[in-house]
Structure 1
Amino acid sequence: MKTAHDLVAEAKAQITEVSVEEAEQAVQQADVVIDVREPDEYQAGHLPGAINIPRGMLEFRLSNDTALSARDLNLVLYCKTSGRAALSALSLKNMGYLHVRSIAGGFDAWAEADKPVVQPQMPDFE
């Protein structure tokens, strides 16, 4: 029986994963940056310009949104540490998307490298 770790390892062997050092350029060149974490994770902080499509809805959203259905889009995916993004990247590859990359280490690695992060703004009540 395979574990989640086994599935992630298999996915990573079949996708393109970019290091944190390469990620900033990949993000700048991307047509779409997709955060596949849950909405509460996204709202707590995310990459600038990223859209949130949780992993469980990814295939459905991309299939039903004409702006995201072109198979030649340059896509960059990330999650918290890279497991969900790797599984998502493999799924999109299997759907025929040609240019899908995942960020190694995910959001945690991005933030630890002091890359730009969008943080929620709390209203000032004073």
Structure 2
Amino acid sequence: MKNAHDLVLEAKAQIHEVALEDAEAAIRAADLLLDVREADEFHAGHIPGAINIPRGVLEFKLSNDPALCARELNIVLYCKTSGRAALAACSLQAMGYRQVQSLAGGFDAWSAAGKAQVAANLPNFE
């Protein structure tokens, strides 16, 4: 029986992961930078220019938004460490998207490298 780790390894064998040192160029060239983490993770910090569509609703959101339906979109995905993004990239490829890349190491690697990030300024209700 497979576990989540097995599924991620299988997905990574079928997708293109962009190395951290090539990430900024890949993001500049992308039509769409997708953060597939949950909303609270995104609001805590994300890569500038990213759009948040959590992994659990990704296929539905892309299918229902005419601006995101074009299969020739150049898409870069990321999550916390790259597992969810790999699974998402595999799903998008199965949907017919032809230019999909996943950020190796995810947001954790991006952040550890000291690269630019944005955090939401949410009001404090305490």
Normalising by the smaller structure, the TM-score range is: over 0.9
Unaligned runs of 5+ in 2: none
Give 1:30 shift. 0.5
Partner AA of 1:5 in structure 2: H
Match of 1:27 in 2: 27
Match of 1:10 in 2: 10
Distance 2:3 2:27 in 1: 30
SS in 1 for 2:67: coil
Cα offsets for 1:58-82 (capped at 9, x unmatched): 0000001001000000000000000
Distance 1:26 1:50 in 2: 13
Distance 2:110 2:61 in 1: 25
Match of 1:95 in 2: 95
Partner AA of 1:103 in structure 2: L
Structure 1 segments of 4 or more deviating over 6 A?
none
Cα offsets for 1:77-109 (capped at 9, x unmatched): 000000000000000000000000000000000
Comparing 111-120 with 34-43, which one deviates more in the overlay?
111-120
Distance 1:121 1:89 in 2: 30
Match of 1:118 in 2: 118
Is residue 108 of structure 2 the alignment partner of residue 108 of structure 1?
yes
Partner AA of 1:31 in structure 2: D
SS in 2 for 1:67: helix
Give 1:122 shift. 5.4
Match of 1:73 in 2: 73
**Count of residue correspondences:** 124
Unaligned runs of 5+ in 1: none
Partner AA of 1:109 in structure 2: A
